[in-house]
Amino acid sequence: MFQYYCLNPISKIGLENFTEEFVNTHDVNEAQGILVRSAAMHDMELSENLLAVARAGAGVNNIPLDKCAEKGIVVFNTPGANANGVKELVIAGMLLASRDIVGGINWVESAKDNPDIAKATEKEKKRFAGTELQNKKLGIIGLGAIGVKVANVAKYMGMEVYGYDPYVSVDAAWNLSRDVKHVLNVEEIYKSCDIITIHVPLLDSTKGMINKEAISKMKDGVILLNFARDLLANEEDVLEGIKEGKIRKYVSDFPNPVTAGQEGCVVIPHLGASTEESEDNCAKMAVKQMMNYLKNGNIINS
């Protein structure tokens, strides 16, 4: 028998894939396997029983990788399993930034008791006018599972798409629309794109990559999106860029006290992967990985 513990609520459909030798324990110290979404595990004591951590998601920055390596605990993630959910929210993020949907909805809410709301709308709507995505230049930094999907949809929407990734995989290159311009230098994205979206992992080399210096190289009025990881952008520098008019809109899937609620910022409570389908896919993959490892010692990454 094997015992697993869910640190976050994990999709029931995914958990149904566990065979009967696996039981859900409510005592984390008993568990040979932990399933986790984005809850931070850095302060957790890792018991001697623990053999594997399966992250139902892509990013592993919530897991103490060094501590796990020291104790020989295997860490899995589920690359690509929620890429479709994130991609769809990124596209929504671009639309939220280019059309003042949030401002418009808030205004309607505030005017809901006005019996002449239709007339009032005619007077007000000019200030919510936006711009279109078609023919705009989109820069995608990071051409992994999500970046590639965003590129292909953006292409269909008539955008001119530029992609940058120093480690583009054969798979990604194959799945990427032939019309995406793969640039060899991130500066090219900064200087030429109207909208920039980041899809890289959080590493020492990427932490704070969207900072004052990077922003200064961008086009005036750029729209910036971060649906990848918290801390990739220096939020103070972003806010300053907004105040100076350099950044037109910042859309982030990572609530942060600096940018939350600020003019020019659209902040979403980390919902990229929060769809039924993505949650089920991630949980199924994480369960499969954990079973394979605990039962057979096999390490699979799909």
d(CA 5, CA 32): 8
- Choose the binding region for ligand MLT from 53-61, 172-180, 207-215, 288-296 (rule: CB under 6 A): 53-61
d(CA 159, CA 153): 9
Q: What sign does the CA torsion over 215, 220, 221, 222 have?
A: negative
Among 31, 58, 233, 238, interactor with ligand MLT by CB under 6 A: 58
Site for ligand MLT contains 57 (CB under 6 A): yes
Q: Which residue is nearest to ligand MLT (CB)?
A: 57
Site for ligand MLT contains 284 (CB under 6 A): no
**DSSP three-state, residue 32:** coil
Site for ligand MLT contains 87 (CB under 6 A): no
- Choose the binding region for ligand MLT from 14-22, 55-63, 121-129, 176-184 (rule: CB under 6 A): 55-63
Q: Which is nearer to ligand MLT, 194 or 230 (CB)?
A: 230
Among 17, 25, 38, 84, interactor with ligand MLT by CB under 6 A: 38
Residue 28 CB neighbours (<10 A): 17
Site for ligand MLT contains 256 (CB under 6 A): no
Site for ligand MLT contains 82 (CB under 6 A): yes
Among 37, 219, 284, 288, interactor with ligand MLT by CB under 6 A: 37
State the distance between the two ends of the chain, measured CA to CA, in whole angstroms: 24
**DSSP three-state, residue 244:** coil
Supply the minimum distance, in Å, between the C-beta of residue 175 and ligand MLT.
Answer: 18
d(CA 257, CA 254): 10
Q: Which is nearer to ligand MLT, 3 or 82 (CB)?
A: 82
Non-local (6+) Cβ contacts of 267 within 8 A are 251, 252, 254, 255, 256, 259, 260, 261
Supply the minimum distance, in Å, between the C-beta of residue 144 and ligand MLT.
Answer: 11
Supply the minimum distance, in Å, between the C-beta of residue 260 and ligand MLT.
Answer: 18
CB 53 within 8 A of CB 36: yes
CB 31 within 8 A of CB 25: yes
Site for ligand MLT contains 104 (CB under 6 A): no
Residue 192 CB neighbours (<10 A): 16
Supply the minimum distance, in Å, between the C-beta of residue 39 and ligand MLT.
Answer: 9
Under the rule (CB under 6 A), what is the footprint of ligand MLT? Answer: 37-38, 57-59, 82, 270, 273
